[in-house]
C-alpha cells in the first residue's frame, strides 16, 4: 500500500459536517485534506440550462445518491431477525458527491430548542423521568444551547438563511437576526398561518436556507435569490439560491492553498497505533481503485451517520454497543424522525399550485416542541413540528388523490386531474427517542467488496413513535379543517417501518456525544473518548433526535467541534474532557 505525505488533518467526508470543519480549520494555516467518496459537481447551471436540475426523472432516480452496488447497509426490524442488504433507496437518500447529502437537501434550517440539548434533565425536572419506558434511552447532549448559539448563527449566515426573527416564541435566544428576510407565504402556508393562529398556535415562516435575495455570506461567497422553480429537493439548486456546501463553502476553500479536496476517495478505516490509543491516519481507496495510506495528526470523521458509525466499528474505536443490556457506545442511539400529517384537498377555486415551491418554502409551528408541551403529561415523550410545506410538486413525485380512490384506471385519472393543483400537505416531523432495541452494528454475515463487514441497522418504529405520530396527525387534521380543506386524509406512521417509501433522510446517532463515557462515544467536543486525535462530527453525534430538521444542528456542532480543535486541541493535544 502506497503511503502519501503526512497531513496535519484529514477530514473524512465532504458533506455539510466536513465542509464546515474544513472551513474552520482552513484558517489555522494547517495542511489539511478532505476525502470524499463521491465526484465533484459543477456549480449551478442556471435556471434554463436543460441540465439535470430540470430533470424530474433524474431527481426521482437519485442521480447524486450513494451507489448501493458499491456500498450498502443491511436492515432488520428486530435483533431476532436476519438482516437483508438494502437493494435500493426508499425511505431515505444518502449523498455520494462532493457536498454530500447537503447538495440535495431542502434547506429547512431549524435550530433545536434549548431544552432539546438537555432532554433527560428536562424530563427529570418535569417529574417524568421515572415513568419513561424501560427501553427508552433519553440522554443529554453534554452541551447547552448557549454553548453553540454562536455556531448556529454562523451556520445561518453561511447558508443565507431567510427567516423572521422572533416569530417563533419557543426557540432560544438569538445573538443576531436572520441575515435575509423571510420567504413569502405560499398559498398553503398562508392558509395554514390563518388557521393555526385561529386555533391558538404560533405559526412562523420555516427558516429557509433558500436565499430570499442576492446575498454575500461571511466567507465572501454569493448566493442568488430563490425563484421558487420547484426543483429543490433531490437537486442542486439550478440558480444557486440554496445554501449547500457546494454553493456556500467550497468556493471559498478553493482559494485556500492549504486545503485540498480529493474526490472519489473512499475511506476504509482509521489506522491506530499498536496500543489503540492514537490514530496514525486513514486507509482509503483512491479514484483508480488503489488502496493508499494517508498519515495525519488529526482525523475527523465527518460522513453521514452510517459512514461514521461504520468506520468507528471497523477501526475498533470505542466499545461497540450491545443491545442486550444496553451497554457499549458505538452504534447506540440510532434515531429516525417519525412522520405523519395530512393530505388536504381544496375546492376548485382554491389554487394551491403546489409546483411553485422551494425546498423550505412554507409555514410551521413549534407549539408541540415547546418546553411546556414536552414537560406536560401526554402519553408519549418528545414533540414535533407540523408544517405546511411547499417544496415543489413535480407530478412524478406528488400526485395526491383522496384515500379510497383507486391507484389506477379511469377513476384515478379523474381524481388526479381534479386535485393536482388543489392539494397540499401538512407534514409532521416527530422526535425519535433513542431506544435500546434500535442500533447499528457490524453484520457478521454480510461483507462488502473490500472484505469489510457491512453496517447493519436494527430499527423499527416503537410505541412512543406511533403515539407521537398519531397525536400530531390528529392536530394536523384539525388544522386542515380550519384551513378550509374539503377533505383531509391523515397519514399517521405505523410499524413495521417500511424501507421502501420515502420518509426523510433524517438518520442520526450511532456515535452519540455526551458528558458520560459510559453512554456516549464522543465527548462534548465530539472527540473520541478513547482515541483523542479522532473527532466524529455529524448527525451521528445526536443522542436522540428532537422533533426538528437536523441540518442546522449538524452545521453548528461541526463548527463547535472544529473551534475546539482549533482553539484548544491544537494548542495542547490531549483529551478535552475527562
Partner 1 sequence: MLTAKEHACLAALVDCLIPADAIGPSASDAGVVAFIDGQLGGDYGAGKGTYLPAEPDADIPGDWSPRTFYSKGLAALDELARQSAGCDFAQLDPGDRHELLSAIERKAIAHPWIAHFLDQAIQSTMEGYFSDPIHGGNRNAGGWKMVGFPGCGHDYRSFVGKNLPVAQLVPIQTIADFRDRT
Tell me if 133 sits within 8 A of 464, measured CB to CB: yes
- Supply 168's cell numbers: 417563533
Instruction: In angstroms, give the least distance from the CB of 220 to partner 1.
Output: 26
Least spacing, CB of residue 416 vs partner 1, in Å = 6
Q: Is 69 left (phi over 0), alpha (psi -120 to 50) or beta?
A: alpha
Closer Cβ to partner 1, 29 or 90, answer by number: 90
Active site residue 310: no
Residue from 409, 451, 571, 572 that binds partner 1 (CB under 8 A)?
409
Part of the chain binding partner 1 (CB under 8 A), chosen from 51-59, 139-147, 292-300, 519-527: 51-59
Annotated catalytic residue within 75, 310, 337, 506: 506
Q: Which CB, 363 or 533, lies closer to partner 1?
A: 363
365-404: contacts with partner 1 (CB under 8 A): 393-396, 399
Cβ 235 to partner 1, closest distance in Å? Answer: 10
Phi, psi of 116 (to 5 degrees): -60, -30
b/e string for 149-169 if b means 16 or more Cβ within 10 A? bebbbbbbbbbbbbbeeebbe
| Residues of span 179-198 touching partner 1 by CB under 8 A | 183-187, 189-190
Identity of the residue, 220 or 349, whose beta carbon is nearer to partner 1 in the bound complex: 349
- Comparing CA positions, the residue from 569, 512, 571 lying closest to residue 120 is 512
- For the CB of residue 336, give the shortest distance to partner 1 in the complex, in Å: 20
The residue (of 350 and 549) whose beta carbon lies closer to partner 1 is 350
Instruction: Indicate the residue among 325 and 407 with the shorter CB distance to partner 1.
Output: 407
Closer residue to partner 1, CB minimum distance, 216 or 447: 447
Whether the CB-CB separation of 556 and 148 falls below 8 Å is answered with yes
> Quick one: which of 421, 450, 481, 515 contacts partner 1 (CB under 8 A)?
421
Closest to 143 measured CA to CA, from 115, 109, 180, 117: 117
Give the x/- contact pattern for partner 1 in 208-227, rule: CB under 8 A: -----------------x-x
Q: Please, which residue, 289 or 409, has the CB nearer to partner 1?
A: 409
Distance separating alpha carbons of residues 423 and 501, to the nearest angstrom: 20
Show Cβ contacts of residue 280 under 8 Å, excluding neighbours closer than 6 positions: 271, 272, 273, 295
Give the Cα separation of 246 and 104 in Å (integer): 10
Site for partner 1 in 231-250 (CB under 8 A): 231, 238
Angle, alpha carbons 344-346-350 (nearest 5°): 130
Comparing CB distances to partner 1, the nearer of 213 and 467 is 213
CA 431 to CA 188: how far, in whole Å? Answer: 24
- Closest approach, Cβ 496 to partner 1, in A, equals 16
Q: What are phi and psi of 59, to 5 degrees?
A: -65, -45
Task: Decide if residue 273 touches partner 1 (CB under 8 A).
Answer: no
Exactly one of 301, 361, 428, 565 binds partner 1 (CB under 8 A); that residue is 361
- Partners of 3 in the β-ladder: 293
Which of the ranges 42-50, 115-123, 460-468, 515-523 carries the binding residues for partner 1, by CB under 8 A?
Answer: 42-50
Degrees to nearest 5, angle at CA 427 with 423 and 430: 165
Peptide linkage before 496 cis (omega within 30 of 0): yes
Cα gap 61→199, rounded to integer Å = 40
* Smallest separation (angstroms) from partner 1 to the CB of 52: 9
| Pattern 53-92, partner 1, x by CB under 8 A | -xxxx--xxx--x-xxx--x------------xxxx----
Scan for cell 448566493, then name that residue.
223
Q: Which of 123, 229, 259, 562 binds partner 1 (CB under 8 A)?
A: 229
Closest C-alpha to 109, from 169, 48, 146, 163: 163
Q: What's the min distance (Å) between Cβ of 227 and partner 1?
A: 4
User: Alpha-carbon distance 344 to 425, whole Å?
Assistant: 6
| Among the listed residues 407, 451, 571, 578, the single contact to partner 1 using CB under 8 A | 407
d(CA 463, CA 467): 6
Q: Residues in contact with partner 1, total (CB under 8 A)?
A: 57
Q: Report in angstroms how near the CB of residue 252 gets to partner 1 at its nearest.
A: 27
Among candidate residues 426, 235, 432, the one with its CA nearest the CA of residue 342: 426
Residues forming the site for partner 1 (CB under 8 A): 47-50, 54-57, 60-62, 65, 67-69, 72, 85-88, 183-187, 189-190, 225, 227-231, 238, 349-351, 353, 355-356, 361, 393-396, 399, 407-410, 412-414, 416-417, 420-421
Positions marked active-site:
506
Amino acid at each position: 500500500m502506497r503511503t502519501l505525505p503526512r497531513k496535519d488533518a484529514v477530514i473524512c467526508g465532504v458533506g455539510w459536517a466536513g465542509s464546515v470543519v474544513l472551513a474552520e480549520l482552513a484558517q489555522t494555516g494547517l495542511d489539511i485534506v478532505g476525502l470524499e467518496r463521491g465526484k465533484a459537481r459543477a456549480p449551478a447551471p442556471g435556471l434554463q440550462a436543460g441540465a439535470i436540475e430540470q430533470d424530474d426523472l433524474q431527481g426521482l432516480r437519485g442521480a447524486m445518491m450513494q451507489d448501493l452496488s458499491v456500498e450498502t447497509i443491511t436492515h432488520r426490524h428486530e435483533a431476532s431477525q436476519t438482516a437483508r442488504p438494502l437493494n435500493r433507496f426508499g425511505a431515505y437518500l444518502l449523498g455520494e458527491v462532493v457536498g454530500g447529502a447537503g447538495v440535495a437537501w431542502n434547506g429547512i434550517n431549524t435550530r433545536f430548542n434549548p431544552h432539546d440539548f438537555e432532554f433527560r434533565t428536562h424530563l427529570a425536572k418535569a417529574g417524568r423521568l421515572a415513568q419513561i419506558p424501560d427501553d427508552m434511552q433519553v440522554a443529554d447532549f453534554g452541551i447547552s444551547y448557549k454553548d453553540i448559539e454562536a455556531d448556529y448563527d454562523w451556520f445561518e449566515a453561511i447558508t443565507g438563511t431567510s427567516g423572521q426573527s422572533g416569530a417563533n416564541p419557543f426557540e432560544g435566544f438569538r445573538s443576531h437576526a436572520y441575515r435575509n428576510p423571510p420567504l413569502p407565504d405560499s398559498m398553503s402556508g398562508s392558509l395554514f398561518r390563518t388557521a393555526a393562529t385561529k386555533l391558538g398556535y404560533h405559526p412562523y415562516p420555516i427558516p429557509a436556507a433558500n436565499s430570499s435575495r442576492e446575498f454575500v455570506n461571511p466567507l465572501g461567497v454569493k448566493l442568488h435569490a430563490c425563484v421558487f422553480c420547484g426543483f429543490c429537493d433531490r437537486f442542486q439548486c439550478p440558480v444557486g439560491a440554496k445554501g449547500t456546501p457546494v454553493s456556500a463553502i467550497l468556493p471559498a476553500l478553493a482559494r485556500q492553498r492549504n486545503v485540498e479536496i480529493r474526490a472519489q476517495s473512499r475511506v476504509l478505516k482509521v489506522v491506530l497505533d499498536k496500543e489503540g490509543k492514537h490514530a496514525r491516519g486513514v486507509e482509503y481507496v483512491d479514484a483508480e481503485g488503489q488502496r493508499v495510506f494517508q498519515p495525519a495528526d488529526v482525523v475527523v470523521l465527518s460522513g453521514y451517520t452510517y459512514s461514521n458509525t461504520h468506520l468507528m466499528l471497523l477501526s475498533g474505536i470505542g466499545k461497540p454497543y450491545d443491545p442486550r443490556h444496553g451497554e457499549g457506545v458505538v452504534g447506540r442511539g440510532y434515531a429516525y424522525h417519525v412522520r405523519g400529517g395530512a393530505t388536504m384537498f381544496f375546492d376548485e377555486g382554491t389554487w394551491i399550485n403546489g409546483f411553485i415551491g422551494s425546498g423550505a418554502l412554507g409555514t410551521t409551528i413549534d407549539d408541540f416542541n415547546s418546553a411546556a408541551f414536552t414537560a406536560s403529561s401526554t402519553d408519549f415523550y418528545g414533540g414535533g413540528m407540523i408544517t405546511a410545506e411547499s417544496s415543489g410538486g413535480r407530478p412524478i413525485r406528488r400526485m395526491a388523490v383522496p384515500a379510497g380512490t383507486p391507484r389506477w384506471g379511469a377513476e384515478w385519472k379523474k381524481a388526479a386531474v381534479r386535485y393536482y393543483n388543489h392539494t397540499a400537505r401538512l407534514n409532521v416531523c416527530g422526535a425519535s427517542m433513542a431506544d435500546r432495541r434500535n442500533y447499528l452494528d457490524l453484520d457478521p454475515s454480510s461483507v462488502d467488496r473490500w472484505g469489510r463487514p457491512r453496517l447493519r441497522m436494527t430499527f423499527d418504529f416503537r410505541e412512543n413513535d406511533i403515539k407521537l405520530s398519531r397525536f400530531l396527525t390528529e392536530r394536523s387534521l384539525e388544522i386542515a379543517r380550519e384551513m378550509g380543506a374539503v377533505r383531509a386524509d391523515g397519514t399517521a406512521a405505523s410499524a413495521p417501518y417500511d424501507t421502501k417509501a420515502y420518509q426523510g433522510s433524517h438518520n442520526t446517532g450511532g456515535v452519540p456525544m455526551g458528558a458520560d463515557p459510559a453512554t456516549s462515544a464522543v465527548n462534548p467536543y465530539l472527540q473520541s473518548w478513547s482515541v483523542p486525535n479522532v473527532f466524529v462530527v455529524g448527525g451521528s453525534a445526536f443522542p436522540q433526535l428532537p422533533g426538528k430538521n437536523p441540518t442546522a444542528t449538524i452545521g453548528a456542532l461541526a463548527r463547535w467541534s472544529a473551534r475546539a480543535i482549533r482553539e484548544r486541541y491544537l494548542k495542547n493535544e490531549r483529551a478535552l474532557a475527562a
